[in-house]
Every structure is written in structure tokens, then in C-alpha cells.
Structure 1
């Protein structure tokens, strides 16, 4: 029994560490780097920023790779931790998360294409400045579209994950609730952005991601710092 509890706690802390790496690399690559480089309203500025901050752009790509690799490993560790709760939901959790990884990695080729366009290959002289800027923005749009597709699965996996956390008895139930709500936040944002170009200007866009942020960052830190707590069982005599 003690060995089982130790293994459970080790799995929880390992999952927390991987989750933390995923969160930090995700924030860096998906939020910080684009905020420093990309200007959707000004292609010329975007191209200049990429050229002047090429190392930052490349670091963002490497952070993408680390983030997506963690997203492949994390559900497998969580499966070990949570499959005793409900194996069917644990398998669904893994399947819905892992399916996004090849989409995300292939999508990263669009960023690589941007670097190729801004390289020094002789054939690029056939493109004038405006054509080059348009091509760069096109590949960045392709990348954003791919990210939007992958984000559907970033949301869907949270529902079985949240359900398992809620039912586990050794992790806080409220994290499970926020994770399940976070599932709908991701999906609503992806679908809303697809069908309505002005979605991000709506009030709902600024609040729809709050449950997933609370749930994911919360469970990440809980797993890393606390691990698991065992539910006390009531002994009935007679």
C-alpha cells in the first residue's frame, strides 16, 4: 500500500513538472513571441521585426516543439495516475490530447516557411518587397489557422481529464469543474473565431478562457507541489 501511494505521488509530481514546462513554453511561444513580433495591421513592420529578432522567432519555434512534445508525454503520465479512476475516460483523455500533436508539429512548418522567405536564396529576388511581405503574412495566417484547429483538441481533452480529477478522490474537485468548463471555453473560442471574424472584439472573448486558465494552472501547481492526497475511508464494524 505504501509503495502504491509513493508511486501515485511520484506520478503526480512528474505530471505537474511536465505540465509546468508545457504551460511556460506555451505562454512564451503562443503569446509572448507573437506580441513582440507580429503586427497584423502592418506587414512591413512584421517583416522588419522578424529580421531584427530572428533569434527570438527561432526560440519561439523551439519552445513550440518542447510544448507539443510535453503535450504528447503529459497525458501518458496522467493516464498512469488516473486510469484506476475510470479507464475509458482515461483512454479518451489521451486520445483527444495526442491527436493535436501531429497537427501542431506539421503546422509549425508554416513558421519555417517564413524563415525561408526571409533567407538569402537567389530565387527570392523574383519577389518584390510587397509580394514578400504578403507571403510572410500568408504563412503566419496559415499558422494561426492550424493553431485554431489544434486548439479544439486542446479543449476537448480537458473534459475527460476534468471528470477524472473530479472523481479521483485524491485531487481537488473544484479543479475538475474548472477543467471541464475550460473544455467549452476552448471549443467556443475556436468555433466562434471560425464563424465570426469579429469574435475577439466581443466581451465573451475576454472571459471565456478564464476557467481553463484557473483549472490548468491550478492543477499543474497542485500536482507539482502537493501531489495527491488520499481520501479517508470510514471503517464500518458489524
Structure 2
């Protein structure tokens, strides 16, 4: 019991790192320094706040490292519920992290361009915006797997009896919300901006709730799977003997 609770709290800490580092990099650093419609403004802002831009880069990498380890820890808790789905959960995150890490080259490219000569030229400004737009679109591609991992995770949370069922429902809804947001972004990018926060709200609520539950309580209880299987086998054996 204590062992699985410790494992759950490690997962909670990793989840918290993912959330805090992701919010800092995306909602603070890039939201503050990057304007994808104005190259001159973006170049000037990044040049004045280069350290902050680099901190956003490091924060994103820390988020991706924690995000990679998180499902491996959750796997230890949830594999007894359904090992196949737990493996799909790990695989989905592994693909998402691979995309995110490669995409970070587009985040770092502006620093290389701005350290060269003539960084105030229109050509360099256009190149900076090009790479930052690529980074934004690459993040959206990874979002496909952000969504996919929530489906097995949500089902496992819902059926494991280790967590409140409401969290599992929110995670499953969050999966379909992320997938819908992904489709809308690439088919109708201008309309998706107004809907994105509402569509992904169940995912945010589900992930925040799971993170805080893991930190505060760990798990509800630890079912003895061996005893459950033994009881099921005994019941089946008695039923067969009764019928014979």
C-alpha cells in the first residue's frame, strides 16, 4: 500500500512539472515575446529578453523530459488494470515527446539568427517568424498524441478503482476535445482560435484533477489483484462443480 502510494505521488510530482513548465514556456514566455504577425516586434522583444526566451526553451525541455517519464511511472500503477492499454498510453507519449523534441530546434533557431550580423534586416525577421510558425504548427501536430494518450489513461483511471471515476470521464472527453481541436486548427485555423480553450477545457480539468489527486492522496485503495483472480477462479470452479 505504501509503495504504490509513493509511486503515485512521484507521478503527481512529474505531472506538476509538466503542467508548470508547459504553462511557463507557452503561456508566459512565448505569449509575452512572440507575435507571429509582426516580425520586427518579435525580433526586438526577443533581443531585449534573450535570457527569458532561453529560459522558455529550457522549461519546455524539462517539461518534455518529465512528460516522457510520467507514463512509465503510471504504467507501474495501472498495468494490472489493463496492460495492453497501459502500453498504448506509454507509446502515445513517446511519439509526442519525439515530435516535441525535434520541434524545439525551431524554438532555438531565432537565437542563432539573432546572434548573426544584420539581425534587424527584413529577411532575418521573416526567417525568425518562419521558424516560430513552424514551432507552433509542430506543437499542434504533437497535440494529436496529447489527445490519444488521454483515452487509454482515462479508461484506466475509470476502471482501476484507484481514482475517482469523474477524473477518468474528463480525461476521455479531453481526448476527443484535443482531437477535435487538432482537426479544426488545420482545416479552419482562424475559427479554431476562438474555440480552442473551450474544446480543450475537459482535458485541462481532467489532467489538473489527476495531478492534484496523485499529489494529495496518491490512490483511493490498492486492490489485491492476485486475491481477486483467485476468488474469480474459485467461483468459476464451484459453479462448474455445481452444474456437474
Q: TM above 0.5, one fold?
A: yes
Cα distance in 1, alignment partners of residues 191 and 91 from structure 2: 29
2:92 is aligned to 96
Question: Matched residue of 1:62: which SS?
Answer: helix
Cα distance in 1, alignment partners of residues 12 and 189 from structure 2: 36
The RMSD of aligned alpha carbons is: 2.0
Cα distance in 2, alignment partners of residues 23 and 211 from structure 1: 15
2:16 is aligned to 20
Selected match of 2:212 from 209, 213, 221: 221
Selected match of 1:209 from 200, 215, 223: 200
CA contact under 8 A between 2:40 and 2:120: conserved in structure 1?
no
Cα distance in 2, alignment partners of residues 172 and 98 from structure 1: 26
Selected match of 1:164 from 156, 165, 168: 156
1:193 is aligned to 185
Confirm or deny that 1:173 pairs with 2:165. Answer: yes
Cα deviation for residue 54 of structure 1 reads 0.4
2:102 is aligned to 106
Uncovered stretches (5+) of structure 2, i.e. residues with no partner = 225-230, 232-244
Deviates more, 1:173-182 or 1:30-39: 30-39
Cα distance in 1, alignment partners of residues 24 and 77 from structure 2: 28
Cα distance in 2, alignment partners of residues 180 and 189 from structure 1: 14
The residue correspondences of 1:114-133 to structure 2 (distance < 5 A) are 114-120=110-116, 124-125=117-118, 129-133=121-125
Q: 1:61 to 1:201 in 2, by over 3 A?
A: closer
2:32 is aligned to 36
Cα deviation for residue 199 of structure 1 reads 2.6
* 1:158-181 Cα shifts (integer Å, max 9, x gaps): 000000000011211000000011
2:131 is aligned to 139
Selected match of 1:50 from 46, 50, 60: 46
TM-score of the pair, normalised by structure 2: 0.88
Cα distance in 2, alignment partners of residues 167 and 80 from structure 1: 16
Post-superposition, which runs of at least 4 consecutive aligned residues in structure 1 deviate over 2 A? 199-202
Confirm or deny that 1:63 pairs with 2:59. Answer: yes
Uncovered stretches (5+) of structure 1, i.e. residues with no partner = none
Q: 1:181 to 1:103 in 2, by over 3 A?
A: same
Q: If you compute each CA radius of gyration, which structure gives the higher value, 1 or 2?
A: 2
TM-score of the pair, normalised by structure 1: 0.90
The residue correspondences of 1:82-93 to structure 2 (distance < 5 A) are 82-93=78-89
Cα distance in 1, alignment partners of residues 108 and 28 from structure 2: 18
Question: Matched residue of 2:189: which SS?
Answer: coil
Cα deviation for residue 185 of structure 1 reads 1.2
Q: 1:117 to 1:232 in 2, by over 3 A?
A: closer
